A and B are shown apart, each in its own frame.
Chain A
Amino acid sequence: MTWPWSIHTPPAGPEHAASAAVSIHDMTVAYHRKPVLWDVDLDIPEGRLVAVIGPNGAGKSTLIKAVLGLVKAVSGDVRIFGEPLERRRAWIGYVPQRESVDWDFPVSALDVVAMGLYREIGWFRRVRAPHRARSLDALTRVGMESFADRQISQLSGGQQQRVFLARALVQDARLYFMDEPLAGVDAATEQVIIRLLRELRDAGRTVVVVHHDLQTVQEYFDHVIMLNTRVVAAGPTAEVFHRDNLHKTYGGRLTLLEQAAQAVADTAGR
């Protein structure tokens, strides 16, 4: 196997579409010699609601983390609105997976939301009343204002997810990355989150969401990235979200899913 060890940095030339919020060129990521993402070439257009789908282990979270510089890419180049990541950090909001933090941590919901402003507040300075007021506004947008002072372990899973979302909202970013914000949340939270995602899109923001529920992709998202170590397909949902691509992305696993669904339907019909 040949390894693309050299990091090759093309000039921000014609291969980077001008209107793209994110341009990924030739990115490969490996964990301990095992490639997780291979030769990813992607342009994510601005102002869309974008789903990243694929089976477990397809590299969905890794794609987001590599774009954000949280995992090192073996090779590749990422541009955010045409500039390198470090110059665009302030434009980016991030919602990590809910399980990635310790919810027993001694902070209130409001404290967590205020973390979205830490970069803006800057080194050594404290969180002050105006910051707290803005954080409370963000909590209000996700319907959580009456939980502002609750310690975060006292919130349900869906409420915790809303707090994470509020932390990203308060940053007022142009580009959002969200890692499975709809996993394991109740229906009410799902409605709140989807409404907010649409509001963000309508306000011209770009929102990239790792999504696991194939049933809702067409309803919720304008644009889909179908991923299985390589990019199988990427484009407007109406154009790329079809049977062929799903089979290429999920392979045998999708047929298993279908068989299971069929079995359930048979049992129910009897």
Chain B
Amino acid sequence: MADWGLVARSLMHSDAAGHWWRTLSMQDYNTRVVAAGVALLGAACGAVGAFMVLRRKALFGDAISHATLPGIGLAFILATAMGLPGKHLPILLAGAACTALVGMGVILLLRHRTRLPEDAALGIVLSVFFGAGVALLGVIQQMQGASAAGLESFIYGKTASMLAEDGRRIAICAAMLAAVCAMLFKEFRALCFDPAFARAQGWPVRALDAAMMGMVVAATVIGLQAVGLMLVVALLIVPPAAARFWTDDLRAMVLTSAALGAGSGVVGALWSAMEPNWPAGGVIVLVAAAAFIVSMLFGRARGVLHRFAAHLRLERRVDRQHVLRAMYEAGEQGREAAARSAADLARSGVVPPRRLARALAGLKREGALARLPDDRWILTPAGRALAARVVRNHRLWELYLIRYAAIAPTHVDRDADMIEHVLGHDMVAELERIMDSAGAQALHLESPHRIAPAGEGR
């Protein structure tokens, strides 16, 4: 036991560093238990929470976790009265699960039997059950011959008190939750996306709904000891919300969420083991929050930076198309040789002046534009073909919007290149026929709407 610690200590000549080293390398049996338990807890909560977040029922977990407190108090009183050890954890957790299930039943009753808004129902269950729990703990304090000290630790959690058997219990529960998630994945996907359709197909939607809520109850109860009833809801909400930024696929989101939950759990538990003044529950939540912020910024599917970059790319592509269009139409109208200076283009307002230089440079790089010795720009043969296609597509879109679409232009796919995909070849052929017979000239002069300024895309 002491050998590695001694080695580390002699290497680092410092007690504090030795403690850190021992914790990080998980040499203490207890540290390993705590880390493994909290990791599995985070994974289970992350997976179950993903479905709840997608159903917009994230706060259901909060109501459920608060509904565990009276169960803890009642279990303690009953066990003490029966002469059992009152603070035996499995007894307390069984009590917690009982009142959590009662709370779930009350929420379902309020939802289906009254016209009460869902958030009000959740708020009622949360506060009333928690209030009952606080009152019970007060009563227990005054009970004769019962040492109730420590029951409050379920409110904020006490990770350090976890034993090997606690870790095992969490592992078994988490494995069961993971198995149910995997088995009912397809059913849960249908339930979360379109419950009415699932019902119409004949799935027992209420039973599936109850199963999902029951999983939240299980995840919450096993999380009580580690992170406490106040904070366990964070593990149900924050990792799924973070995972959503990385992927547009449900399976990947559930797995990412589980991984983020597990990672937050391990990092938070180890941190708190190194710095005993930092309670694990709070640190775990802070680590999860850090993961959330990183995901929100850098997430590949819908992170802020990713969206900004996509927006910028779109803006630049639209700019380049506008320049091509302006050059091409200048040629069509027979303005001398279709060469235009940058100043001329800027005056015509096709692209905001500060973005013009970049658009011109980009087109030159693509080989669509060439610069004449007198600093004017001209379409290359390749650029001319490209411009012809862009102009054709834009005009077909405009014609389509005038002739056929009795709907807002925003309902149409804005990517002009995709016109055949969206409208179908028959429609495009028809539009081309109309455009040819009407003459191109008349069409682009009487454009009914300005092409949306760059950057108004979704």
Query: Does B163 count as interface, using CB distance less than 8 angstroms?
Result: no
User: Which residues of chain A are within 8 angstroms of B421 by Cβ–Cβ distance?
Assistant: 146-147
- Which of B194, B247, B250 contacts A101 (CB under 8 A)? B194
The CA of A121 and the CA of B252, in the complex, are separated in Å by 22
- From the candidates A101, A119, A187, name the one contacting B406 in the complex (CB within 8 A): A187
Q: A146 contacts which chain B residues (CB < 8 A)?
A: 421
- Is A217 interfacial (CB 8 A cutoff)? no
Asked whether A96 lies within 8 Å of B194 as measured between CB atoms, the reply is: yes
Alpha-carbon gap, A52 to B412, bound state (A)? 28
Alpha-carbon distance A92/B424, docked complex (angstroms): 30
B161 to chain A, nearest CB (A): 38
Near A by CB (< 8 A), chain B positions 394-451 give 404-407, 411-413, 421-424, 427
What's the nearest-Cβ distance from chain A to residue B18, in Å? 46
Is B187 among interface residues, defined by CB-CB distance under 8 A?
A: yes
Once A96-B196, A100-B196 are accepted as A-B contacts, the answer to whether A118 and B186 lie under 8 Å apart by CB is: yes
Asked if B82 CB lies within 8 Å of chain A CBs, one says: no
Segment of A41-49, A151-159, A251-259 engaged in the interface with chain B:
A151-159
A101 touches B249 (CB 8 A): no
Q: Is the CB of A126 within 8 A of B186?
A: yes
B248 within 8 A of A: yes
B201–A106 CB distance below 8 A: no
Does A127 touch B at the CB level, under 8 Å?
yes
Q: Which of B185, B190, B193, B422 contacts A188 (CB 8 A)?
A: B422
Q: Is the CB of A118 within 8 A of B193?
A: no
Q: Assess whether A184 is interfacial by the CB under 8 Å rule.
A: yes
Residues on B with C-beta less than 8 A from A32 are: 115
Residue of B nearest to A153 (CB): B248
Contacts A89-B202, A119-B203 given; does A188 touch B423 at CB 8 Å:
yes
The smallest C-beta distance from B157 to any residue of chain A, in angstroms, reads 31
Q: How far is the CA of A158 from the CA of B198 in the complex (A)?
A: 22
Residue of B184, B198, B407, B421 with highest tally of chain A CB at under 10 A? B407
Please judge, given known A-B contacts A121-B186, A156-B412, whether A187 and B194 are in contact too, CB under 8 Å. Answer: no
Q: Mark B200-243, 1 if CB is under 8 A from A, else 0.
A: 11110000000000000000000000000000000000000000
Main secondary structure of the interface of A (DSSP, over half): mixed
A35 to B252, CA, bound (A): 45
CA distance A108 to B252 in the complex (A): 12
For B253, the chain A residues whose CB sits under 8 A away are 106
Contacts of A187 in B (CB 8 A): 404-407
Question: How many residues belonging to B are interface residues under a CB distance threshold of 8 Å?
Answer: 40
**Closest CB of chain A to B303's CB: distance in Å?**
14
**Interchain CA distance A115-B413 in the complex, whole Å:** 25
Residue B66 CB within 8 A of the other chain: no
B244 at the interface (CB under 8 A from A): yes
Hey, which chain A residues are within 8 Å of B406, CB to CB? Answer: 187
Residue B376 CB within 8 A of the other chain: no
B448 CB, min distance to chain A CBs, angstroms: 16
Q: Which residues of A contact B252 (CB under 8 A)?
A: 106
> How far is B408's CA from A157's CA once the two chains are assembled, in angstroms?
11
Also in contact, A70 and B186, with CB within 8 A (given A106-B244, A108-B248): no
Does B392 touch A at the CB level, under 8 Å?
no
Whole-angstrom CA separation of A105 from B192 in the bound complex: 9
Any chain A CB within 8 A of the CB of B199?
A: yes
The answer to whether B193 and A102 touch across the interface, beta carbons within 8 angstroms, is: yes
Residues of A in contact, count (CB < 8 Å): 44
Residues of A within 8 A of B413 (CB): 156, 159
Is B54's CB within 8 Å of the partner chain A? yes
| Contact bitstring B244-263, A, C-beta under 8 A = 1, else 0 | 10011110110000000000
On chain A, the residues within 8 Å of B404 by CB distance are 186-188
Q: Give the shortest distance, in Å, between A108 (CB) and chain B (any CB).
A: 7
Please report which residues of chain B, range 173-191, place their CB below 8 angstroms from some CB of chain A when the two chains form the complex. 183-187, 189-190
Residues in B with CB closer than 8 Å to A184 are 407, 411
- A236 CB–B CB distance under 8 Å: no
Q: Is A148 an interface residue (CB 8 A)?
A: no
In the assembled complex, B197 has its CB within 8 A of some CB on chain A = yes
* CB within 8 Å for A112 and B193 given contacts A92-B200, A158-B411: yes
Q: Answer whether A186 and B405 are a contact pair too, CB < 8 Å, given A92-B200, A94-B197, A119-B202.
A: yes
Which of the residues B54, B183, B203, B424 comes within 8 Å of A143, measured between beta carbons? B424
CA distance A70 to B247 in the complex (A): 32
Flag whether A107 is at the interface (Cβ < 8 A): yes
Determine whether A244 belongs to the interface, using a CB cutoff of 8 Å to chain B. no
Kindly state whether residue A69 has any CB partner on chain B within 8 Å.
Answer: yes
Asked whether, in the complex, the Cβ of A118 is within 8 Å of the Cβ of B187, the reply is: yes
Do the beta carbons of A106 and B183 come within 8 Å of each other? no
Report yes or no: A115 in contact with B202, Cβ–Cβ below 8 A.
no
A26 located at the interface, meaning its Cβ lies under 8 Å from any Cβ of chain B in the complex: no
A100, A112, A186, most chain B CB atoms within 10 A = A186
Q: Is the CB of B200 within 8 A of A94?
A: yes
Q: Decide if B197 touches A106 in the complex (CB within 8 Å).
A: no
Interfacial residues of chain A within 139-186, with CB under 8 A of chain B in the complex: 143, 146-147, 151, 156-159, 167, 184-186
9 pairs, A vs B, C-beta closer than 8 Å: A70-B200, A94-B201, A96-B200, A106-B252, A107-B249, A111-B189, A111-B250, A115-B189, A185-B407
Query: What would 18 more interface pairs be, CB under 8 Å, given A96-B200, A106-B244?
Result: A32-B115, A89-B201, A96-B194, A102-B54, A105-B250, A106-B247, A106-B248, A107-B249, A108-B248, A118-B198, A118-B201, A118-B203, A143-B424, A156-B422, A167-B197, A186-B411, A187-B404, A187-B405
B residues whose Cβ falls under 8 Å from a Cβ of A: 54, 56, 115, 183-187, 189-190, 192-194, 196-203, 244, 247-250, 252-253, 404-407, 411-413, 421-424, 427
**Ordered nearest first, which 8 A-B pairs have the shortest CB separation?**
A151-B248, A89-B202, A94-B200, A187-B404, A119-B201, A68-B200, A101-B194, A106-B250
